[in-house]
Amino acid sequence: TKWVFSFGDGRAEGKAGDKNLLGGKGANLAEMSSLGLPVPPGFTITTEVCTHFYANGRSYPAELKGQVEAALAEIGRITGKAFGDPERLLLVSVRSGARASMPGMMDTVLNLGLNDETVEALGRESGDERFAWDSYRRFIQMFCDVVLELDHEVFEEILEEEKDRKGYELDTEFSAGELRHLVALYKEKVEAELGKPFPQDPHEQLWAAIGAVFSSWMNARAITYRRLHNIPESWGTAVNVQAMVFGNMGETSATGVAFTRNPSTGEKALYGEFLVNAQGEDVVAGIRTPQNITEAARIAAGSDKPSLEKVMPDAYREFVTISQRLEKHYRDMQDLEFTIERGRLWMLQTRSGKRTAKAALKIAVEMAAEALISRQEAVARIDPSSLDQLLHPTIDPKATREVIGSGLPASPGAATGEIVFTSDEAEEASKAGRKVILVRVETSPEDIHGMHAAEGILTTRGGMTSHAAVVARGMGKPCVSGAGGLRVDTKNGTLMAMGVTLKKGDMITIDGGSGQVLKGKVAMLQPELSGDFAQIMQWADETRRMKVRTNAETPADARMARSFGAEGIGLCRTEHMFFDGDRIVAMREMILADTEAGRRAALAKLLPMQRSDFVELFEIMAGLPVTIRLLDPPLHEFLPKTEEEIEEVAAAMGVSADKLRHRTETLHEFNPMLGHRGCRLAVSYPEIAEMQARAIFEAAVEAAKKTGSAVVPEVMVPLVGLKSELDFVKARIDAAAKEVMAETGVTIDYLTGTMIELPRAALRAHVIAETAEFFSFGTNDLTQTTFGISRDDASSFLETYRQKGVIEQDPFVSLDIDGVGELVRIAADKGRATRPEIKLGICGEHGGDPASISFCEEVGLDYVSCSPFRVPIARLAAAQAAV
């Protein structure tokens, strides 16, 4: 087996495509070398050795030693040097390199091969004894830290003592002789601490460093990093061994990092920093202020330190040429590392550069314009979720964040305001022109007005599909939910967080993108939706097959969704239309009435409100499909809770508060989510469905007259498990349609369909499709009922599950493709078997999640429907799924 791949001198045994085997760094070093770029020669020990290492009690394959020797000899041949030979000194660096970049997982070892003998050779060859001893000193420190696990602080102490003794301020004041003495002290220390001398044999050093890199794959830092970034343990890391080049050989040497385009704005201009007479670690360490690479950047930054363009014009020109060549070759913005040794440029790394969402759009659009990539590739380059950053105000990355707590990133965007603890306070404050954050343990339908009035919502309980999260997303308001570390004391008007006690009126900021809660007011950046954003969206629309609709019930949401490109409404949750103002009283009347006559009286009040809402929605969505779902209220959300509310409803109904209290108690349910909701309500009280259907059809007639374009309402029945349930409700819908048509003399085309949100419905979809003209997958409930996990209580333990690695992702956020997805697939297939032209869509929260959207494309759904602010994300994700 080939375990070692060499590169250098215009050749390489590997290539950019070998990332799995060689890691990202190794594959790109090989590629650059093949391109004839100046890369210090070296070799990569493959990730398969890492796998072997762990599968065989931390031992190496038998052939490895010979292959490493041969590769070292090859470096020697290219450089005219020999590893371990003081006469022809060859020093190497040893670095890890996994498939995915894992910054900080494992430190680098530089200058490997130095010992008491070779240090003299380095002094002779470089003509700089001081440099040689300083390199040796650094090497001992680095090697001990990374390989021998001897903390670098023991050396810092020695260094400081010596500085004090000499009265020096800076390390650079030491002479060569003094550094030699320091090295002696370092070595004594190593022997005292470890009970054996610092290894002098370069080969012993090399194998110890290789072993340290492989071992680092399983250190705590790496394990945590992998968990956070979903990197499988089985990938392993590669090890790169490379001839040293020195950026610290005096004033004609330098080291730096650069991006081929600006990673924060996307502007097409080389962007980077360097330090004269320094090694790579010095740039990162941030002790010295780096200089700009280009003159233009120096001027823009107002820096008085000369640019690379000025101080080393030849190396600069070569670097510009190489960076342009690499960008063309990889067809993407590159992140580069380089070293200049005595005027000679060496490339140490290239990789695709990380960038902000804004920069990603600009770079993709401009690269397509430059014909470097196709439009389709431009669309594929953008991470759909990152668009969230662009649709809402975000926290200025330059601002300082004083984090006082964190919860779930329930609805994106950042918001700042005064703390208020009740919805009434929120409304009052907002009427007075003050900006507030509504802070609650959890929210309920009675908080709608407060949520509307607030800039953002913070709850200490509840998950990603809690009331607060769903409603906030719908409204496009930032929300952090389930911030369990915070304690709300509504009575005393305080919020306790990490030792800080905040009062009502104090300023806080929430970041719904990260879930962070910050103290005070923080600087924000405003969204921008034209330009590059609009261009990528247009290209995405040309590519995708699935339609993108929105979940909306208020005109404001519907309009916003239209402006984001929604192609209709996929879910109008009619019960949400009754949260506001006096409507909730009429709604409660209807729920609490104990006779049909009582209900009809309340329904008569609701009908005109409902009709006018629908007319408005039909007008906003003129010509586009609108799916209206019949009432699906988990009753507990609507029952009056306070004494005041009970009295209010009692008065409206003309009954005693006592009687109403009793009725409320009768309606109490132990599991409201599995209780008297959805179509069950329509079966118990058909007059509700009749009223709603009537409102829909009357509105359709009216809106068609107003807009002049036909309205084809899609009437949707929730929580169906039996075909007979749907048949029962459909009979009422059809009857209402007939009546309205007879009354108005206008023919109405409409569809009747159902949500698929119960496993039974999915399994019996072929039968249900005999009646249903469309299915809309309600994956919130389908996830809840498939897993048997309450969507309201899930967050408390699902996070623990995630942390312990029992599940990878919250199934309420990203569709569980194996389980819930299987039911979706079954239902889609069965539905089409009965009714080939059946319309299929999804309207659970997953309709705005890119991974779930990709699955929807795979099973051939006709559309996805999501909250307004997710519409652009869904458009892009649907386009990416289609190619």
Considering beta carbons, is residue 422 or 444 the nearer one to ligand PEP?
Answer: 444
CB of 758 to ligand PEP, least distance (A): 10
Give, as ranges, the residues between 206 and 235 that touch ligand PEP (CB under 6 A).
none
| Stretch of 51-59, 175-183, 742-750, 772-780 contacting ligand PEP, by CB under 6 A | 772-780
| Stretch of 385-393, 528-536, 641-649, 775-783 contacting ligand PEP, by CB under 6 A | 775-783
Among 450, 421, 420, CA closest to 580? 450
Query: Does residue 824 interact with ligand PEP by CB under 6 A?
Result: no
Give, as ranges, the residues between 68 and 127 that touch Mg ion (CB under 5 A).
none
In degrees, rounded to 5, the angle at the alpha carbon of residue 498 between the alpha carbons of residues 497 and 501 is 45
Query: Does residue 474 interact with Mg ion by CB under 5 A?
Result: no
DSSP 464: T
Considering beta carbons, is residue 216 or 779 the nearer one to ligand PEP?
Answer: 779
Q: Is 760 annotated as a binding residue?
A: no
Query: Does residue 872 interact with Mg ion by CB under 5 A?
Result: no
Site mask for ligand PEP (CB under 6 A), range 622-641, x = bound: ----------x---------
Q: Per the residue annotation, which of 52, 467, 576, 846 is the catalytic one? A: 467
Q: 467 an active-site residue?
A: yes
Please say whether the dihedral angle defined by the alpha carbons of residues 481, 485, 489 and 494, taken in this order, is positive or negative.
Answer: negative
Query: Does residue 757 interact with ligand PEP by CB under 6 A?
Result: yes
Residue 96 binding result from ligand PEP, Mg ion, none, given CB thresholds of 5 to 8 Å by partner type: none
CB of 847 to ligand PEP, least distance (A): 8
Q: Is 588 annotated as a binding residue?
A: no
Query: Does residue 468 interact with ligand PEP by CB under 6 A?
Result: no
Considering beta carbons, is residue 752 or 779 the nearer one to ligand PEP?
Answer: 779
Q: Which of 420, 682, 843, 866 binds ligand PEP (CB under 6 A)?
A: 843
| Stretch of 682-690, 750-758, 788-796, 873-881 contacting Mg ion, by CB under 5 A | 750-758
Q: DSSP assignment of 544-558, as one string?
A: --SEEEEE--SHHHH
Contact 570, 843 (CB under 8 A): yes
Query: Does residue 780 interact with ligand PEP by CB under 6 A?
Result: yes
Contact 687, 603 (CB under 8 A): yes
Compute the distance between CA of residue 642 and CA of residue 657 in angstroms, rounded to an integer.
12
| Stretch of 225-233, 413-421, 645-653, 778-786 contacting ligand PEP, by CB under 6 A | 778-786
The backbone torsions φ and ψ at residue 567, rounded to the nearest 5 degrees and listed phi first, read -110, 45
CB of 574 to Mg ion, least distance (A): 13
| Stretch of 190-198, 370-378, 752-760, 790-798 contacting Mg ion, by CB under 5 A | 752-760
Residue 31 binding result from Mg ion, ligand PEP, none, given CB thresholds of 5 to 8 Å by partner type: none
Compute the distance between CA of residue 505 and CA of residue 403 in angstroms, rounded to an integer.
18
Cβ density class 460-485: b for 16+ within 10 Å, e for less: bbbbbbbbbbbbbbbbbbbbbbbbbe
CB of 769 to ligand PEP, least distance (A): 19
Amino acid at 605: K
Residue 844 binding result from ligand PEP, Mg ion, none, given CB thresholds of 5 to 8 Å by partner type: ligand PEP
Query: Does residue 874 interact with ligand PEP by CB under 6 A?
Result: no
DSSP 512: T
Compute the distance between CA of residue 849 and CA of residue 788 in angstroms, rounded to an integer.
22
Compute the distance between CA of residue 22 and CA of residue 7 in angstroms, rounded to an integer.
12
Torsion on CA atoms 193, 194, 197, 198, rounded to nearest 10: -90
Considering beta carbons, is residue 429 or 842 the nearer one to ligand PEP?
Answer: 842
Give the SS3 label for residue 533.
helix
Considering beta carbons, is residue 457 or 631 the nearer one to ligand PEP?
Answer: 631
Query: Does residue 778 interact with ligand PEP by CB under 6 A?
Result: yes
Amino acid at 100: A
CB of 552 to Mg ion, least distance (A): 16
Amino acid at 266: G
Give, as ranges, the residues between 771 and 790 that touch Mg ion (CB under 5 A).
778, 781
CB of 515 to Mg ion, least distance (A): 25
Compute the distance between CA of residue 552 and CA of residue 629 in angstroms, rounded to an integer.
11
Among 615, 611, 620, CA closest to 556? 620
Q: Is 573 annotated as a binding residue?
A: yes
Considering beta carbons, is residue 135 or 779 the nearer one to ligand PEP?
Answer: 779
Considering beta carbons, is residue 632 or 648 the nearer one to ligand PEP?
Answer: 632
Residue 553 binding result from Mg ion, ligand PEP, none, given CB thresholds of 5 to 8 Å by partner type: none
Considering beta carbons, is residue 830 or 846 the nearer one to ligand PEP?
Answer: 846
- Three-state secondary structure string covering 21-86: HHHHHHHHHHHHHHCCCCCCCEEEECHHHHHHHHHCCCCCCCCHHHHHHHHHHHHHHHHCCEECCH
Among 636, 622, 626, 641, CA closest to 573? 626
Residues contacting residue 186 through CB under 8 Å, at least 6 positions apart: 137, 140, 141, 155, 158, 198
Helix, strand and coil percent figures for the chain, each rounded to 5? 50, 15, 35
Q: How are beta strands 344-352 and 436-440 bridged, if at all?
A: unpaired
Q: How are beta strands 524-525 and 394-395 bridged, if at all?
A: antiparallel
Q: Count of residues binding ligand PEP (CB under 6 A)?
A: 10
Query: Does residue 260 interact with ligand PEP by CB under 6 A?
Result: no
Q: Is 629 annotated as a binding residue?
A: yes
Compute the distance between CA of residue 249 and CA of residue 247 in angstroms, rounded to an integer.
6
Residue 415 binding result from Mg ion, ligand PEP, none, given CB thresholds of 5 to 8 Å by partner type: none
CB atoms within 10 A of CB 803: 9
Considering beta carbons, is residue 447 or 781 the nearer one to Mg ion?
Answer: 781
Q: Per the residue annotation, which of 843, 846, 856, 866 is the catalytic one? A: 843
Considering beta carbons, is residue 362 or 573 the nearer one to Mg ion?
Answer: 573
Q: Is 505 annotated as a binding residue?
A: no
Residues contacting residue 169 through CB under 8 Å, at least 6 positions apart: 163
Please report where in the chains the tokens 């890492």 appear, as a residue: 50
| Stretch of 8-16, 539-547, 679-687, 776-784 contacting ligand PEP, by CB under 6 A | 776-784
Euclidean distance between the first and final Cα of the chain, in Å?
A: 37
Contact 367, 373 (CB under 8 A): yes
Query: Does residue 351 interact with ligand PEP by CB under 6 A?
Result: no
Query: Does residue 781 interact with ligand PEP by CB under 6 A?
Result: yes
Residue 590, token pair as written in the block: 């209807």
CB of 571 to Mg ion, least distance (A): 9
Site mask for ligand PEP (CB under 6 A), range 546-585, x = bound: -------------------------x-x------------
Give, as ranges, the residues between 43 and 82 that touch ligand PEP (CB under 6 A).
none
Q: How are beta strands 751-756 and 713-717 bridged, if at all?
A: parallel
Residue 483, token pair as written in the block: 């911030």
Considering beta carbons, is residue 418 or 781 the nearer one to Mg ion?
Answer: 781
Q: Is 778 annotated as a binding residue?
A: yes
Q: Count of residues binding Mg ion (CB under 5 A)?
A: 3
Site mask for Mg ion (CB under 5 A), range 701-740, x = bound: ----------------------------------------
Compute the distance between CA of residue 55 and CA of residue 61 in angstroms, rounded to an integer.
11
Q: 843 an active-site residue?
A: yes
CB of 759 to ligand PEP, least distance (A): 13
Instruction: Give the footprint of ligand PEP on this chain (CB under 6 A).
Output: 571, 573, 632, 757, 778-781, 843-844
Binding residues: 573, 629, 757, 778-781
Known binding-site residue numbers for substrate? 573, 629, 757, 778-781
Residues that bind Mg ion (CB under 5 A): 757, 778, 781
Known catalytic residues? 467, 843
- Residues that constitute the known binding site for Mg(2+): 757, 781
